[in-house]
Structure 1
Amino acid sequence: MDWGDPPTWVAIAVSLAALAYARLARGDSRRSADIAQASLNIQQTEFDERRAAAAAAAVPKVKFVVEHVHKLRYCLRNVGDATATGVTVSREGLSLVTGLPENVTLAPEAAHDFKILEAWGAQRPTALLVRWDGQDEPYPVRVPPRPRRGLTL
């Protein structure tokens, strides 16, 4: 029996080895492509989350502080970057406070003056409950203490 010439058999063996190697490489490239696709999906999700967070941060917000002006005078100031309309302070428990805002509009950095009167034994408020259009629940804003006379800072 004649098995042919040896170079043919060597060529067949090399071809079979190359075919097996190609199949292994194809499996590796599929796994690599799947991993690359998963990585792109993760990056896209992170990009979408960052864009949503940036959009939320870019939305103008209303923020209030109470500042001591002079003696009994205070002001409610909008330190946010949006105009607040319908600003109203709850008068509940504030019998010694006069001039509180009621349905006013405060642009950014605008303020509304009011007075906190002092009476012997009466308690000063520690916070004001503020509402404005878009803020349904009363929002507490801290009232700073009045500086004492004679103290230097």
Structure 2
Amino acid sequence: MADIDFGDAPAWVAVVLAGGAFVISLLARRDSKKSAGAAVEAVTEARRASDAGVRSAVAAEESLALQRQEAAARQATEAEAARPRASLALHWQGGQIFHLVNEGTAPAENLQLLTVSDDAEPLEPFTRLGVGEVAEFLIMTSLASGAPTALEFAWDGQEDPVRLRVPRSG
């Protein structure tokens, strides 16, 4: 600075401008640090939002899988309910004559009358009782034993025996 004369106005203007530029560069550096901090925070928030989005997507996939399972179970239940089934009914015709009627929508294959009492044996199975078909049979009674109150039947596809009430005459 020995070369600079106090009367040299352009040199002094250059010194002042250089000082101003230095101050402005310090302010710019401070602002750039703030911007960098804000950028880091923005990246952190973006990661959190991304993680939340992934968790939300996983939850949605699990929910969809559960809905599909429930729909499949409901569809299987509806299909089972709509499946044709045999449905037996016992009607009194007169005296000791009864009719076993298949009122269902499917035949009863290998139809069996199960044991009625301790001293009675199961009967041989009917081969088949088709839809709307009638099988006529007698229920023999005596004064000592009387007529049974119910008969149990089983057939292919019917897991548990079906208990039919024996209708009373008259």
Amino acid of the residue matched to residue 147 of structure 2?
R
Task: Please report how far the alpha carbon of residue 4 of structure 1 lies from its aligned counterpart in structure 2 after TM superposition.
Answer: 5.0
| Alignment match of 2:64 (pick from 17, 20, 40) | 40
- Identical positions, percent: 27
Deviations 1:55-79 (A, max 9, x none): 2223322222211233433211112
Q: Is the 8 A contact 1:86 1:132 kept in 2?
A: yes
Aligned to 2:12: none
Task: Please report how far the alpha carbon of residue 29 of structure 1 lies from its aligned counterpart in structure 2 after TM superposition.
Answer: 0.6
TM-score norm. by structure 1 comes to 0.71
C-alpha distance 92-52 of structure 1, shift in aligned 2 (>3 A): closer
C-alpha distance 126-92 of structure 1, shift in aligned 2 (>3 A): closer
Which has the larger share of strand? 1
Of 53-62 and 5-14, deviating more is 5-14
Distance 1:91 1:7 in 2: 97
Distance 1:69 1:119 in 2: 19
1:17 and 2:41 matched: yes
Structure 1 stretches of 4+ moved >6 Å: none
Distance 2:35 2:49 in 1: 21
1:128 and 2:151 matched: yes
Task: Please report how far the alpha carbon of residue 25 of structure 1 lies from its aligned counterpart in structure 2 after TM superposition.
Answer: 0.7
- Mark the runs of 5 or more structure 2 residues left unpaired by the alignment: 1-21
Give the secondary-structure state (helix, strand or coil) at the position aligned to 1:125.
coil
Give aligned pairs, total.
Answer: 142
Aligned to 1:151: none
Which has the larger share of helix? 2
Distance 2:115 2:32 in 1: 102
| Alignment match of 2:129 (pick from 106, 109, 112) | 106
1:84 and 2:108 matched: yes
Aligned to 1:150: none
Task: Please report how far the alpha carbon of residue 13 of structure 1 lies from its aligned counterpart in structure 2 after TM superposition.
Answer: 3.4
- Mark the runs of 5 or more structure 1 residues left unpaired by the alignment: 148-153
C-alpha distance 134-40 of structure 1, shift in aligned 2 (>3 A): closer
- Root mean square deviation, CA, Å: 3.1
Distance 2:158 2:63 in 1: 41
Q: Is the 8 A contact 1:125 1:143 kept in 2?
A: yes
Amino acid of the residue matched to residue 140 of structure 1?
R
Q: Which structure: larger Rg?
A: 2
Aligned to 1:141: 164
Deviations 1:71-107 (A, max 9, x none): 43321111221112333435765x9xxxx88524221
TM-score norm. by structure 2 comes to 0.65
